[in-house]
Amino acid sequence: KAGVTQTPRYLIKTRGQQVTLSCSPISGHRSVSWYQQTPGQGLQFLFEYFSETQRNKGNFPGRFSGRQFSNSRSEMNVSTLELGDSALYLCASSLSAGGLSKTQYFGPGTRLLVL
């Protein structure tokens, strides 16, 4: 089975712009979560989607949003980019939401640099 894929892998934007990142989960996986990784804050949870519904949201401003499509693919959007948004954005997929299927598989991430 192919793993979690994320596109693009690298992105350079300037302050004030917006960006959309894409994630394709492992085939058959219906839950997708997003995380931000920075040297200072470590790995922080952004949001979780299951069956096109946001189930949980982390402590990030409203500039961060996401969605999930009927094929379980997910996108996250960051509007009005700030320098502090520079980070590695990771997507993780799992078979279902909660319950016994807690194993999450991470993609390689999208490295975003905001200038």
Partner 1 sequence: QQQVKQSPQSLIVQKGGISIINCAYENTAFDYFPWYQQFPGKGPALLIAIRPDVSEKKEGRFTISFNKSAKQFSLHIMDSQPGDSATYFCAATFQGAQKLVFGQGTRLTINP
**Could you list the residues that contact partner 1 (CB under 8 A)?**
4, 31, 33, 35, 42-45, 48, 50, 55-56, 58, 90, 92, 94, 97-99, 102-109
CB of 109 to partner 1, least distance (A): 5
Nearest distance from C-beta of residue 16 to partner 1, angstroms = 28
Amino acid in position 46: L
Nearer to partner 1, 16 or 37 (CB): 37
Between 66 and 107, CB nearer to partner 1: 107
Residue 108: what residue type? P
Distance CA 69, CA 45 (A): 20
Cis amide leading into 39 (omega within 30):
no
